[in-house]
């Protein structure tokens, strides 16, 4: 109690102990210094087989519920990226032609899949597919999404239904999709994914045969031949064509392969089919025009020397042929073939080109030169180095060759478009004082060049070694290193808090 007009102060004295790190604490038996895992709480070793099976089913149900929630998040984030933020028709850098035709939603920014790819750390193709499946489920297939959200339908089957009734059937009215959905859902969980997709296609044809034929005609117009690396020096050629023609190609390859087998060829029938297809496509034809090609071989000097000498396992880095790693034995075969074609050493084939790329032990590109430039440097006793900067906007041939050899593809994280199809872009715009130098130039495909220049909220920073950091409007940063560069290379990336003004962006063409 205190008299009127007076006040008191209470003081508590407590002993303060210095902070103790987890490393200095002796934990009780069975206690670990990390968050608990589900396996710690629900120990699998203590479960019966029946309980394990029951838990697997619960996990499947939980994954379905989470997948439905992810669908809502993806569609919600897309709504936060309106198309009004993009360049509009008639403005420099606006989507047109093929890009405009590929837009999934006219109300959503064309660059939303690029942001989603970096948020989820996946390719733009995977992000685009996820967005397309999510939008289809949330907006056009309410019964399928509800079954997924309630755990009654798993994500692989929901995704399969959305894939068949999504982009390919975008012109199909919603009421037709609802008829297909109603016919398919009761049988979905009892079918494999492939059989489920076949059922969806059959029901869609039954519900709207005219639309199905239009889709087939469009798919035929979009037919193409693509190739991708499989590792171990192998590649896969994929030719998309009408099914009868595809079956005809397979039957012809099989017939030729079996004829070779009957003639005594000891190779497997599968390998012979592959050899036959290659021979049929590339066989000699007097009426076929001759063509030349550019082949790029990138290797550390010790790897190239070991390949030439036939030393197995030597060299720290694999030899890259057109960006695909190959074994030392395959590299040796390549060198032998080149030497047979070019007596006296490796040189450019007739009407073709040859580029020599020299890297250090960590994969940093040191020089990208022609054979003549290499010979000239040797005669003068000079070393090889990066080309110097130039005091103009357009880089010279040496700078362009260095940047394209270093990057090999578009440098936007996850993009695999080849550098030969990409623009050479100033990371810091030339109008803002950015140098025309290999430390400020990187390859960006036309799409990602337009994203960097015109999309709001994106930030790009690159080190002198070519390590590029890209930050999305939602604050996710991904790092892109030049192919072949070791991840252990220490590069300092400083991402500014504010993006530079768009007024200083690189000028068209776009």
Query: Is there a contact between 434 and 426 (Cβ–Cβ < 8 Å)?
Result: yes
The model's pTM: 0.69
Q: Residue 503 pLDDT more than 50?
A: no
Contact 425, 461 (CB under 8 A): no
- The confidence score (pLDDT) of residue 301 equals 56
Beta bridge partners of 487: none
Of residues 173 and 354, the one with the higher pLDDT is 173
Q: Give Cα 503 to chain centroid, integer Å.
A: 30
Lowest mean pLDDT among 216-225, 329-338, 407-416, 446-455: 329-338
Strands (E) in 381-453, as ranges, are: 423-426, 441-444
Does position 154 have pLDDT exceeding 80, yes or no? yes
Per-residue model confidence (pLDDT) at position 321: 60
Percent of the chain residues past pLDDT 70, beyond the cut: 71
Whole-number Å distance between alpha carbons of 343 and 347: 9
pLDDT at 53: 85
- Of 36-50, 167-181, 336-350, least confident by mean pLDDT is 336-350
Q: Name, of 10-14, 84-88, 264-268, 296-300, the range with top average pLDDT.
A: 264-268
Between strands 234-239 and 294-299, the pairing is unpaired
pLDDT tier at 308 (50, 70, 90 boundaries)?
A: low
Question: The tokens of 452 are what?
Answer: 């960097």
Residue 185 has pLDDT above 60, yes or no: yes
Look at the chain and count its residues: 510
pLDDT of 423-455, one tens digit each? 999 999 999 999 999 999 999 999 899 999 999
Ramachandran category for residue 433: left, alpha or beta (phi over 0 → left; psi -120 to 50 → alpha)? left
**Given a cut of 60, is residue 100 above it in pLDDT?**
no
Q: Which of 503, 430, 416, 498 is nearest to 459 (CA)?
A: 498
Name, in order, each residue with C-beta under 8 angstroms of 294's C-beta and a sequence gap of 6 or more.
352, 353, 355, 420
Query: What's phi and psi for 248, nearest 5 deg?
Result: -65, -40
User: For the chain, how are helix, strand and coil distributed in percent, rounded to 5?
Assistant: 45, 10, 40
């Amino acid at each position: 109690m205190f008299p009127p007009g007076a006040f008191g102060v209470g003081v508590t004295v407590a002993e303060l102990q210095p902070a103790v790190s987890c490393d200095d604490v002796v934990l009780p038996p069975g206690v670990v210094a990390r968050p608990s895992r589900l396996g710690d709480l629900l120990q699998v070793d203590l479960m019966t087989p029946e309980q394990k099976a029951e838990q697997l089913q619960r996990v499947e149900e939980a994954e379905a519920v989470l997948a439905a929630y992810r669908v809502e998040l993806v569609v919600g984030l897309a709504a936060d990226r309106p198309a009004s933020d993009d360049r509009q028709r008639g403005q420099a850098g606006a989507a047109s032609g093929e890009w405009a035709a590929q837009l999934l939603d006219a109300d959503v920014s064309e660059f939303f899949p690029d942001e989603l790819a970096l948020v989820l750390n996946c390719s733009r193709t995977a992000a685009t597919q996820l967005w397309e499946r999510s939008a289809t489920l949330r907006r056009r297939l309410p019964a399928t999404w509800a079954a997924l959200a309630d755990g009654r339908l798993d994500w692989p089957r929901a995704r399969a239904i959305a894939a068949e009734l999504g982009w390919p059937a975008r012109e199909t009215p919603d009421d037709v999709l609802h008829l297909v959905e109603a016919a398919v859902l009761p049988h979905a969980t009892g079918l494999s994914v492939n059989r489920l997709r076949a059922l969806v296609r059959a029901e869609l044809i039954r519900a709207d045969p005219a639309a199905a034929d239009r889709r087939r005609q469009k798919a035929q117009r979009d037919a193409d031949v693509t190739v991708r690396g499989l590792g171990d020096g192998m590649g896969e050629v994929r030719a998309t064509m009408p099914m009868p023609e595809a079956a005809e190609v397979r039957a012809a390859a099989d017939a030729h392969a079996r004829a070779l087998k009957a003639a005594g060829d000891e190779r497997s029938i599968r390998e012979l089919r592959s050899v036959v297809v290659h021979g049929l496509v590339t066989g000699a034809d007097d009426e076929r025009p001759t063509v030349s090609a550019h082949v790029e071989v990138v290797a550390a000097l010790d790897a190239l020397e070991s390949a030439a000498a036939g030393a197995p396992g030597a060299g720290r880095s694999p030899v890259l042929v057109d960006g695909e790693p190959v074994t030392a034995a395959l590299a040796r075969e390549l060198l032998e073939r080149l030497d047979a074609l070019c007596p006296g050493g490796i040189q450019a084939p007739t009407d073709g080109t040859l580029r020599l790329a020299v890297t250090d032990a960590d994969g940093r590109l040191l020089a990208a030169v022609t054979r003549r430039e290499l010979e000239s440097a040797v005669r003068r006793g000079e070393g090889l180095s990066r080309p110097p900067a130039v005091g103009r906007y357009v880089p010279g041939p040496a700078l362009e060759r260095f940047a394209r050899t270093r990057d090999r593809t578009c440098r936007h994280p996850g993009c695999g478009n080849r550098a030969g199809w990409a623009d050479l872009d100033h990371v810091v715009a030339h109008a803002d004082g950015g140098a025309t130098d290999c430390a400020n130039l990187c390859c960006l495909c036309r799409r990602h060049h337009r994203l960097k220049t015109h999309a709001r909220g994106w930030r790009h920073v690159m080190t002198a070694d070519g390590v590029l950091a890209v930050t999305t409007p939602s604050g996710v940063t991904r790092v892109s290193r030049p192919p072949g560069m070791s991840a252990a290379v220490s590069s300092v990336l400083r991402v500014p808090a504010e993006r530079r003004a768009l007024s200083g962006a690189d000028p068209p063409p776009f």
